Structure 1
Amino acid sequence: MEYLIVIEPDFEAGGYVVSCPTLKGCVSQGKTEEEALENIEDAIKTYLQSIEDLKRLKKLRASL
């Protein structure tokens, strides 16, 4: 699945800040654009995995 991302230069700290508006709170950064893009890819994967983990936990609790 593809997600829209926004990448912006961080003028104060240097580097780039990148976010995925579709996934609230999913933000990362990097020293270069390439690093920021790699980091947001990891952040998106972690975000989606966390949602799946929460769903499984809720199902487990419901079955107890």
Structure 2
Amino acid sequence: MTYEELLMTIEQKLEQKEFQQEFRDGLHIGRKLAIVTIAHAMIDIGISLETIIKIVVLSQNKLEQIAD
């Protein structure tokens, strides 16, 4: 492997790692947006804030388990 090929390989690996991190960040933002949207819908149909908080906390814990 030449020096240039080695540099290209390193560059590709760094770009792949950066893409994967950005993808994970995007998924995290998407999950938060989904929770906010669902909470808003629950408020609209009259579910109490206490119940919504319990549901969101339980959902967040479950999402974190799935993500791991």
Kindly tell me the number of residue pairs found equivalent between the two proteins: 34
RMSD of the alignment, in Å? 1.2
TM-score by length of 2: 0.48
Larger C-alpha radius of gyration, 1 or 2? 2
- Percent of counterpart pairs with the same letter? 6
Q: TM-score of the superposition, structure 1-length normalised?
A: 0.51
Query: Which residue of the other structure, out of 26, 41, 47, is the alignment partner of 1:46?
Result: 26
Q: Deviations over 1:2-36 (max 9, x none)?
A: xxxxxxxxxxxxxxxxxxxxxxxxxxxxx710000
Q: Which has the higher contact order (CA 8 A, sep 6+)?
A: 1
List alignment gaps of at least 5 residues for structure 1.
1-30
Q: Would you identify which runs of 4 or more consecutive aligned residues in structure 1 move more than 3 Å?
A: none
Partner of 1:63: 43
Gaps of 5+ in 2: 1-10, 45-68
